[in-house]
Amino acid sequence: MMENSIAWILLFPLFGAVLCSLLGMANRKFCWPIGVVSMIGSFVAGVMTLIQAIDSPAHEVSYVFGGWIIDSYPRGVGIEFRADLMAALITLVVVGIGLCVTVYAKLPVERETPGKEHFFYPLFLLQITGLAGICMTGDAFNLYVLIEVAALTGYGLIAIGGKRAAAATFNYVILGTIGASLYLLGVGYLYIKTGSLNMVGINEVIVSSETLKDSATMQVAFVLICLGILIKMAFFPLHAWLPNAYCHAPTATSCLLAPLVTKVMIYVMIRMVLTVFGVDFSFVDTPWPSVLPWLVVIAIVSAAVMALGQREIKRMLAYLIVAEVGYMVGGVWVYNYYGMIGSIFHIISDACMTLCLFLGAGLILEKCKTTHFDGLRGLFSKMPLTMTAFFVGGFSIIGLPPTCGFFSKWYLITGAMVSQRWEYLVALLFSTMVMVVLFFRLIERIHLAVSESGENLGKGHGDLGLTNEQTRFSEGPLTMLVPLLTAAAVVLVIGIYNQEVVDLIEIFLDPFDLPGEPESK
């Protein structure tokens, strides 16, 4: 199994999904254990792949499905799965979060979609299959198929939450289809010009040709692909589908989609820019590095301001995701070594901290039946562990050390300074301030007896206007609490061991010769 671990990452959830839907028809109790077991298998395979990628001399693992021989020039037909260090790291994050949420999903699924477990878990596992596949595939068209696998299951997972969720999903379907189709169109143009669909193959042709860089067809391909991906990742003016879809989705769905979908699409953008088109094509003498940071500034500032206006945790978090997408896109397009490290590291850390926040919000919803700010009073005495973990995620979003959010933001800010993109720097700091306001306002709502509209609900002197019954210690169920605490621990551990992660990213970025790279290491 060791040498084929990269394929096992996908096979476990794929066959888990099939088993779930077959056995689930007989008895719905089978679904959850099958899901957990297959995700554990997938996670182990993910760890093995990362170890393999670190150990191998070229720092990448390759697996060609169906035994095609693709070593011709340019790299030929046949679906190749390649995991270099970036892909292996992010795949590990995807399956890790998948495992966490699968464990967590047991109770919310039973409660919110009773009797639909045998629909929910197969979709859930296929979603993880799609997302992990996007991270590892080395084939541009296969990437489209996997994007659609992830998207279609995502629509299903959101719409399973009832009529309001279905109404919110419809927009997502339309925009998601436009995004994926534009990507497909771009791949078509690439194929016309390069005659290859393999990512490395396309890059070999682009690099070896003198004229391709100026070709209008290639420029169109680049713009179409980037536009498609920007829609899929909910970049600010194209974000309209995200907040409603994530707010009205069932708890388990939003916990899975919110940390992963947007981040994985940013990974796709980095993959396209670095591996497929190459640094020369994407950055040197093109207008994008000067245009996109300004769009990013608009995106970050508007999303942060919109987040300020929300009175509900889930909706606020949805807008935070849109702002974070701006961070990462900006890190890529300031075009230097540190910005790129920051972007890749922020994908990892943002996935973990968003997971933490959404798991926490799910638990709050479970115990309080509301995520409105006014329903939060006294939660620290009622569920101290949950709230601590929730605020570890919150502090990571703000960027307080030693959480991982601090270090990734540090690299992003360094990147902004090295490229002298001050507008991006200001936007980052502004959004940090907004997040401080957001999370400390939450803390205030929890500890003070003042409601959102400003009225006093208690009797003064620290009284919250609650009975002892209401503030008595009562944590959520263990299957929900343990994943949350794990997520919080991971946020801290990645923060403390950030240098190890960054080392891997540096090895990955080494061959790309980005500006600002330190001379000798």
Partner 1 sequence: MFEDGSILNDLFLERLNYFIYVVLLLIGLHAMISKNNFIKKLIGMCVFQTAIILFYVSIGVKDGATIPIYLPEHDPHGEQAYAAGGPEALTVEQVASYTNPLPHVLMLTAIVVGVATLGLALALCQKIYEGYGTVEEDELMAKLEKEDAVHRKPPTRTAGKSTSKPKASSRAKSTAPGPAGKTIASKSTKSSGTRKTKDPSKKAPVKKTPVKKTARKSTPKKGDSK
Q: Which residues bind partner 1 (CB under 8 A)?
A: 77, 111-112, 114, 141, 144-145, 148, 152, 155-156, 159, 161-167, 169-170, 173-174, 177-178, 181, 184-185, 188, 191-192, 197, 248, 311-312, 365, 367-370, 372-375, 377, 451-453, 455-457, 459, 465-467, 469-470, 472
Residue closer to partner 1, measured from CB, 453 or 520: 453
Q: How far is the CB of 168 from partner 1 (least distance, A)?
A: 8
Cβ(95)–Cβ(9) under 8 Å? yes
Q: How far is the CB of 262 from partner 1 (least distance, A)?
A: 20
Q: How far is the CB of 415 from partner 1 (least distance, A)?
A: 35
Q: Within 13 A of 322's CA, how many CA atoms are on the CB side?
A: 32
Q: How far is the CB of 456 from partner 1 (least distance, A)?
A: 7
290's enclosing H/E stretch is helix 288-308
Q: How far is the CB of 17 from partner 1 (least distance, A)?
A: 15
CA distances from 411 to 200, 201, 302, 428, 505 (A): 28, 31, 23, 12, 12
Q: How far is the CB of 469 from partner 1 (least distance, A)?
A: 4
Concatenated DSSP letters of 45-64: HHHHHHHHHHHSTTSEEEEE
Residue 503 CA to residue 382 CA, distance in Å, equals 41
Residue written as token pair 């990628």: 53
Residue closer to partner 1, measured from CB, 53 or 276: 276
Q: How far is the CB of 61 from partner 1 (least distance, A)?
A: 25
Residue closer to partner 1, measured from CB, 238 or 392: 238
CA distances from 352 to 170, 258, 347, 404, 508 (A): 28, 10, 9, 9, 21
Residue 209 CA to residue 263 CA, distance in Å, equals 32
Cβ(371)–Cβ(312) under 8 Å? yes
Residue closer to partner 1, measured from CB, 40 or 240: 240
Residue closer to partner 1, measured from CB, 465 or 515: 465
Residue closer to partner 1, measured from CB, 29 or 459: 459
Residue closer to partner 1, measured from CB, 207 or 457: 457
Amino acid identity of 139? D
Residue closer to partner 1, measured from CB, 82 or 248: 248
Concatenated DSSP letters of 109-147: HHHHSTT-HHHHHHHHHHHHHHHHHHHHB-BHHHHHHHH
Q: How far is the CB of 457 from partner 1 (least distance, A)?
A: 6
For CA atoms 478, 405, 451, 244, the dihedral sign is negative
